[in-house]
Amino acid sequence: MNRRKLVLIGNGMAGVGVIEQILKINTGLFDITIVGSEPHPNYNRIQLSYVLEGSKTTDEIVLNDWNWYRENGIKLLTGTTATALDTTAKTVTTDRGDVLPYDALILATGSKPFILPVPGADKEGVVGFRDIADCEAMTEAARTYRKAAVIGGGLLGLEAAKGLSKLGMEVTVVHLMDDLMERQLDPAASGMLRAELERQGLRFAMGKQTKELTGGVRVEGLAFTDGTVLETDFVVMAAGIKPNSALGAAGGLEVNRGIVVDDFMRTSAPDVYAVGECCEHRGVCYGLVAPLFEQGSVLAKHLCGTQTAPYEGTVLATKLKISGVDVFSAGEFMDQPDLTIVKMQDDWRGVYKKVLVRGNRIVGGVLFGDVGQATQLQQWIRSGREMTEDVHAALMGTPAGEESGGGAELLADDDIVCGCNGVTKGTIVEAVRTQGLKTVDEVKACTGACRSCGGCKPLVEQILAGVLGDGYEAGTAAHGICGCTQLGRDEIVAAMRERKLTTTRETMAALNWSNPEGCSKCRPALNYYLTMLWPETYVDEKESRFVNERLHANINKDGTYTVVPRMYGGVSSAEELKRIGDVAVKYNVRAVKMTGGQRIDLMGVRKEDLPKVWEELGMPSGYAYAKALRTVKTCVGSTFCRFGTQDSMGMGQLLEKKFERIDMPAKFKMAVNGCPRNCAESCTKDVGIVGNDGGWEIYIGGNGGIKPRLADLAVKVKTDEELLEITSSLIQFYRETANYLERTSDWVERLGLAYIQNHAITDEANRRELVNRMETALTRAHDPWQKVIGDRQLRQELYEGVNVPVGPPTE
């Protein structure tokens, strides 16, 4: 049977959610192509605020990684925008010239930020807040500018404001209305929210209408209609969104505010469907996640020919995703004459609960400060649950998680626990009982509950406790390295060592992984732990590495790659520079950039040219993509500088050649200074070395990234030999004790400087063992031409022009 061609325009949560449901129903029904304008795989847009504030990385909010598309036979076109729709020929054309025929077409193009139509809105320094690129622009602005203004005091605006504040900016929220989140909160909850955010450092300009953005090329201020002005260096427009319906309109579909759909998500054209923020259902365009998944579930069943109830709309619920502020609202929230109000306000504890009842049926509610009952309250609003003594006690009486069970026991098996993904209480209970699940992460991996906004996590914990009884340990939810196991890093490494586990699959089978194939989080970690434990015998599993590591280049947003050749200690030669220039011209490299690590980036290399580029460069990879040593930054030191007391360039090259290919738990950066003037910025590196008249100082745990940290002085040494030995010992101790992806800055704070000094420096016997294990690993990691003997002759040769062998890339 020939598969039908299904094309999805939009790689976001709504559209890919439909594909996930289709694959569960019938994996062989469609030949699927997905077109996405961003360069990323499917990620959780709800958690962008966590990325902005720095509590999560971009990788951590990915829902379906690159492997998921390959494993399911899905053709993914990233960095690509659909530009034309022909519903007669049944084709979609992209900006790359692709013409994609379809049997069924899903439009999930999402929404765009509403940019105020005022003078100056197009100035530099003005952005929206909808995607990863916006987060990156805001993070970059925080490095340079101090004052930020966020226009919009709704959900999105407050999340952006708090994120910028955490990045160190002075943030003012500008809002047209007198109350924050006035579409979700009553005045009492809004007032408590403002007071809490002011306590956390945000400023507010309420009742202000922006007339103009002032400044030259770049924004310098906001001028309001009341004649006042707010000085600012950066503006985030978060005053609302509008459906991205342009493709549908161009294709002749019926469009009002959004692309008009019926109860089965069908548009006005045959075999064309729309889902998510781009569509309009019964006159409503939704901008929250729960309706998108409800729509997607109906559409997936309809496309697969499975009987389904129609989509009839969604009871809206809102949860503010700001650390330290818990706010929830669903259904009706303003007092009305025909409503009975059940309310509790505790200003001392900062807790406010309000439930609205009509005809003894729950129709709405607002929670502030304690949102443990949010998920069940939303379910009761959706189902019109009758207010009873038990329900009242669950909402207003005993706090969630205590003897009342927080309301979980009041839910029926068919009540929805996770509104984002449509997971019922019965589904979770059955999975816990039949699959032996014991943690929230395992429930998430198995059922999808908690996978999106995470708001249902308290209720899932209550259900786990109810099913497992004494067997439930509340602390285990965050214990495992991922959702596939409840085992932590130390337990896994100990089992590998004691049971002589030698492959990732063997490890997952022996340790009873809930997902026998593992996931994108645990496979790279297991691969690293095995590499670290068995350096002489373990065969690296390339399929368990991230894509950049497999291709030896960093992927760019447009699908091209950046090649970074190694420049030891930031030192090059005329011959190397000529080769780099020749390659850049021959392969039409779009940009040649000097990096902060004293290297040269060749940006915009096509994937098919990567092998030839490396061959013609004749230089080792700089491992700019690897969980390994990236760079050793150096000053010119005593060789050229009149202040230099030590040979920093020679030592930097020596260290870089010695450790360049050894696997680390995370990316690793070093610097060597020839004197305390610190021109190479050793204070913000994982290992920083500073020369002085009496020898060297070794620093550890520095970081110049999103969480800056000055390195700690670990030890002072007198000789080069001591420097090499202790550096080797410190790095090996980090390799053996750090969690996967844990930077040294977090590692030092977790273990403590004194503990590290004692085990890797002071205890000489242990130090020698660490060095020996490092040498064994280096022997396995390095090719013969890369081995460096730690003596002064090599450094003398480097400066006297003797050629040091530099072979081609080894992989």
Residues composing the chain: 811
Q: Where are the alpha helices (DSSP H) in 448-573?
A: 457-468, 489-499, 504-510, 522-533, 547-551
- State how beta strands 147-151 and 170-175 pair: parallel
- Residue 519 domain boundaries: 489-545
Is the pLDDT assigned to residue 476 strictly greater than 80? no
Q: Which pLDDT belongs to residue 783?
A: 40
SS3 172: strand
Instruction: Tell me how far apart the alpha carbons of residues 462 and 440 are, in angstroms, rounded to a whole number.
Output: 10
SS3 557: coil
Among 253, 281, 303, the domain boundary falls at 303
For 38-96, what is each residue's pLDDT tens digit? 999 999 888 888 888 776 788 888 999 999 999 999 999 999 999 999 999 999 999 99
Q: Which pLDDT belongs to residue 397?
A: 62
Rounded (5°) CA angle 40-44-45: 90
Alpha-carbon dihedral angle through residues 383, 389, 395, 399, given to the nearest 10 degrees:
-140
Question: Are the C-beta atoms of residues 669 and 633 closer than 8 Å to each other?
Answer: yes
Is 48 contained in some domain?
yes
Long-range pairs of 479-483 with CB within 8 A, sequence gap ≥ 24: 479/439, 480/439, 480/441, 480/442, 481/521, 481/522, 481/525, 481/739, 481/740, 482/441, 482/445, 482/519, 482/521, 482/522, 482/525, 483/439, 483/441, 483/442, 483/444, 483/445, 483/514, 483/515, 483/519, 483/521
Instruction: Tell me how far apart the alpha carbons of residues 44 and 56 are, in angstroms, rounded to a whole number.
Output: 11
- State how beta strands 234-237 and 147-151 pair: parallel
Structural domain count of the chain: 5
Is the pLDDT assigned to residue 474 strictly greater than 60? no
DSSP state of 759: I
Of the candidates 376, 351, 350, 381, the one whose C-alpha atom is nearest the C-alpha of residue 365 is 381
Q: How many CA atoms lie within 13 A of 477 on its CB side?
A: 15
The answer on 169 and 24 residing in a single domain is: no
Is 58 contained in some domain?
yes
Q: Which pLDDT belongs to residue 799?
A: 32
Instruction: Tell me how far apart the alpha carbons of residues 533 and 715 are, in angstroms, rounded to a whole number.
Output: 27
Is 708 contained in some domain?
yes
φ/ψ of 775, rounded to 5, equals -60, -40
370: left (phi over 0), alpha (psi -120 to 50) or beta: beta
The answer on 406 and 267 residing in a single domain is: no
The answer on 810 and 705 residing in a single domain is: yes
Of the candidates 120, 169, 135, 162, the one whose C-alpha atom is nearest the C-alpha of residue 57 is 135
pLDDT classification of 321: cutoffs 50, 70, 90? low
Higher pLDDT, 410 or 139: 139
Amino acid at 463: I
% of the chain exceeding 70 in pLDDT: 90
pLDDT classification of 323: cutoffs 50, 70, 90? low
Q: Which pLDDT belongs to residue 729?
A: 94
Q: Which pLDDT belongs to residue 469?
A: 64
Both structure tokens of 440: 């929230």
The answer on 406 and 262 residing in a single domain is: no
Of the candidates 778, 769, 565, the one whose C-alpha atom is nearest the C-alpha of residue 663 is 778
Amino acid at 641: C
Is the pLDDT assigned to residue 782 strictly greater than 60? no
Higher pLDDT, 638 or 140: 140
The answer on 400 and 299 residing in a single domain is: no
Among 239, 254, 284, the domain boundary falls at 239
**Chain mean pLDDT for the chain:** 85
Alpha-carbon dihedral angle through residues 17, 23, 25, 26, given to the nearest 10 degrees:
150
Helix or strand holding residue 356 (H, E): strand 351-358
Mean pLDDT of 274-278: 96
The answer on 652 and 782 residing in a single domain is: yes
Annotated binding residue 635: yes
In Å, the largest CA–CA distance within the chain is 92
Both structure tokens of 329: 């609202």
Residue 185: CATH number of its domain: 3.50.50.60
pLDDT classification of 470: cutoffs 50, 70, 90? low
- Helices 457-468 and 440-447, packing angle to 10 deg: 100
Of the candidates 633, 638, 748, the one whose C-alpha atom is nearest the C-alpha of residue 692 is 638
The answer on 684 and 781 residing in a single domain is: yes
Residue 775: CATH number of its domain: 3.30.413.10
Which H, E and C letters describe 396-414, residue by residue?
Answer: HCCCCCCCCHHHHHHCCCC
Residue 368: CATH number of its domain: 3.30.390.30
Q: Which pLDDT belongs to residue 521?
A: 79
Of the candidates 593, 596, 579, the one whose C-alpha atom is nearest the C-alpha of residue 631 is 596
Mean pLDDT of 742-767: 92
Question: Are the C-beta atoms of residues 416 and 422 closer than 8 Å to each other?
Answer: yes
Is the pLDDT assigned to residue 801 strictly greater than 50? no
Higher pLDDT, 38 or 378: 38
Among 517, 545, 573, the domain boundary falls at 545
Rounded (5°) CA angle 714-720-726: 35
Q: Which pLDDT belongs to residue 425?
A: 85
Is 338 contained in some domain?
yes
φ/ψ of 481, rounded to 5, equals -75, -20
Mean pLDDT of 598-608: 85
SS3 484: coil
* pTM tops 0.85: no
Is 312 contained in some domain?
no
pLDDT classification of 791: cutoffs 50, 70, 90? very low
Q: Which pLDDT belongs to residue 794?
A: 37
For 421-456, what is each residue's pLDDT tens digit? 778 888 888 888 888 888 887 888 888 887 766 667
Question: Are the C-beta atoms of residues 482 and 441 closer than 8 Å to each other?
Answer: yes
Residue 673: is it exposed, middle or buried by C-beta count within 10 angstroms (0-12/13-18/19+)?
A: buried
Is 667 contained in some domain?
yes
The answer on 808 and 691 residing in a single domain is: yes
The answer on 762 and 709 residing in a single domain is: yes
**DSSP-assigned states of every residue in 260-278:** EE-TT-B-SSTTEEE-STT
Instruction: Tell me how far apart the alpha carbons of residues 115 and 360 are, in angstroms, rounded to a whole number.
Output: 43
The answer on 235 and 254 residing in a single domain is: no
SS3 632: strand
Mean pLDDT of 665-679: 90
Question: Are the C-beta atoms of residues 258 and 267 closer than 8 Å to each other?
Answer: no
Annotated binding residue 522: no
The answer on 804 and 729 residing in a single domain is: yes
Instruction: Tell me how far apart the alpha carbons of residues 606 and 588 are, in angstroms, rounded to a whole number.
Output: 9
- State how beta strands 62-64 and 259-261 pair: unpaired
Rounded (5°) CA angle 654-655-658: 85
The answer on 410 and 452 residing in a single domain is: yes
Mean pLDDT of 494-509: 85
Is 190 contained in some domain?
yes
pLDDT classification of 473: cutoffs 50, 70, 90? low
Instruction: Tell me how far apart the alpha carbons of residues 574 and 62 are, in angstroms, rounded to a whole number.
Output: 43
Q: Which pLDDT belongs to residue 325?
A: 76
Q: Which pLDDT belongs to residue 620?
A: 81
Is 311 contained in some domain?
no
